[in-house]
Amino acid sequence: MMSFSRVARRFTRHAGHRTAAQSAGTKPQRRLLSDARTGFVIGLAMVCQTFLSVCKSSEPEPAGSPEAPRVLIVVGPSSHPPGTHEVAAGGRLMAYSLENSTNLTAIPTTVTTAWPHDTELQRGIDTVVFIGDEFPPHKLPRSAEILADLDEMMGRGCGIVCIHFATGLREPDVTADGEHPLLHWMGGYFASRCSHHKSIARIFADAEVTPATVDHPVARGWQTFQLTDEPYIENYFGPPGHAERVGLIEFATAMLPPESPRRQVVAWGIERGDGGRGFGIVMPHYYRNWGLDDLRTLILNGIVWTAGDEIPDDGVRVEIPDLSRFDPAESRR
Ligand SMILES: [Zn+2]
């Protein structure tokens, strides 16, 4: 389902076309010149043209394709050592990928370390991507206002994505039974040191991540891959029956931990009743793993899917430069 902002942009573009056609003088207008009642009609047309021109000049077309969705990447605080998390570099890498994909119309992307307390700007966003240590709205100033803004954005069908530790909620963030809006916006979360549920953070060597769906757009263009990383396990998807009720979509699973393997969901999504979509993925912990084509494609697919855009048959592709290009702290050591 198309989000409100995309519908609004299509309407604006349509109004713009009408203005341009009238300025050029269309055939129907020229035929009207032979009509005995031309005076009144021409006068009315001039008024309409002036009105539409004013509307157009006060609402300039945004750069890029008017069809393209808009992505906001919010980089939250992080205290992890160089080479791990690297949230700022990860944000820049995602933005580069969305704007330079080789098989997708460029998606205008804004990267920020501060929440934009700007309602107009928020209304133009099709999906918001969080990367940081724990769910950034709880780590940034004015948390309650950010959550209220998000509630409004989600209510109009905006998408939401959380990467690795940004999927994390702690005990003070949730109610005693684990209730939190993120559970409904995104379908689940990493319960970090919570008493109602204990998710696990641990480095696994050569973990195998497998697609859990084959016929979903997010499954396009990536295959089973191995990585040494910290994919959180035992993630929380609500009380018994909740995942089934909300139609949780499992995108990727891994059999972990190695000593007592269980099927773990490490990437998931949800299509909400408000028309919005959520996507959560609990990797990558190590910055170098952004270099894995399969993992990166899965993440980019998830972002594009939540933005309401089409995913190409071979997934969102990008020729990624050397990872040091995005200025991770590890390259400055
Ligand atoms: Zn980590």
Q: Distance, CA 78 to ligand 1 centroid (Å)? A: 10
- Same domain assignment for residues 36 and 104: no
Q: Give the mean pLDDT of 47-70.
A: 47
pLDDT the model gives residue 24:
29
Q: Distance, CA 232 to ligand 1 centroid (Å)? A: 8
- Same domain assignment for residues 306 and 191: yes
DSSP assignment string, 10-51: HHHHHHHHHHHHHHH--HHHHHHTTSTTHHHHHHHHHHHHHH
177 vs 152: CA distance, rounded Å: 24
Does residue 50 belong to any structural domain of this protein? Answer: yes
Q: Distance, CA 84 to ligand 1 centroid (Å)? A: 7
Please report, rounded to a whole number, the percentage of residues in the chain having pLDDT higher than 90.
78
pLDDT the model gives residue 23:
29
- Same domain assignment for residues 52 and 188: no
C-alpha distances out from residue 151 to 1, 88, 147, 165, Å: 18, 25, 6, 21
- Same domain assignment for residues 114 and 17: no
- Same domain assignment for residues 169 and 265: yes
Please report, rounded to a whole number, the percentage of residues in the chain having pLDDT higher than 70.
80
181 Cβ contact list (under 8 Å, min separation 6): 147, 150, 151, 154
pLDDT the model gives residue 66:
60
- Same domain assignment for residues 217 and 93: yes
Q: Distance, CA 194 to ligand 1 centroid (Å)? A: 17
Q: Give the CATH number for residue 316.
A: 3.40.50.880
Domain count, the chain: 2
- Same domain assignment for residues 133 and 108: yes
- Same domain assignment for residues 278 and 205: yes
Q: Distance, CA 290 to ligand 1 centroid (Å)? A: 13
58 vs 95: CA distance, rounded Å: 28
Q: Distance, CA 160 to ligand 1 centroid (Å)? A: 20
pLDDT at 146 over 60: yes
Does residue 65 belong to any structural domain of this protein? Answer: no
Q: Which residues pair with 72 in a beta bridge?
A: 110, 128
Contacts 24+ apart (CB under 8 A), 96-100: 96/318, 96/320, 96/321, 96/325, 96/326, 97/296, 97/300, 97/316, 97/318, 97/320, 98/71, 98/300, 98/303, 98/304, 98/316, 100/318, 100/319
Does residue 125 belong to any structural domain of this protein? Answer: yes
pLDDT at 322 over 70: yes
Q: Distance, CA 152 to ligand 1 centroid (Å)? A: 30
Tell me how long the chain is.
Answer: 333
Does residue 63 belong to any structural domain of this protein? Answer: no
Q: Distance, CA 96 to ligand 1 centroid (Å)? A: 22
Q: Distance, CA 318 to ligand 1 centroid (Å)? A: 24
- Same domain assignment for residues 107 and 253: yes
Q: Which residues pair with 79 in a beta bridge?
A: none
Q: Distance, CA 308 to ligand 1 centroid (Å)? A: 28
pLDDT at 90 over 90: yes
Does residue 296 belong to any structural domain of this protein? Answer: yes
Among candidate residues 36, 58, 80, the one where a domain is terminated? 58
Q: Distance, CA 109 to ligand 1 centroid (Å)? A: 24
Nearest to 184 by CA among 74, 277, 73: 277
Q: Distance, CA 60 to ligand 1 centroid (Å)? A: 42
Q: Distance, CA 282 to ligand 1 centroid (Å)? A: 8
- Same domain assignment for residues 124 and 253: yes
| Average pLDDT across the chain, whole number | 84
- Same domain assignment for residues 53 and 167: no
Q: Distance, CA 155 to ligand 1 centroid (Å)? A: 30
Q: Distance, CA 165 to ligand 1 centroid (Å)? A: 6
Q: Distance, CA 164 to ligand 1 centroid (Å)? A: 7
Q: Distance, CA 243 to ligand 1 centroid (Å)? A: 25
pLDDT at 211 over 70: yes
- Same domain assignment for residues 171 and 34: no
Q: Distance, CA 244 to ligand 1 centroid (Å)? A: 28
The structure's pTM equals 0.82
Range of the domain at 38: 4-58
Among candidate residues 22, 37, 58, the one where a domain is terminated? 58
Contact yes or no for 33/70 (Cβ under 8 A): no
Rg of the chain over CA atoms, in angstroms?
23
pLDDT the model gives residue 19:
26
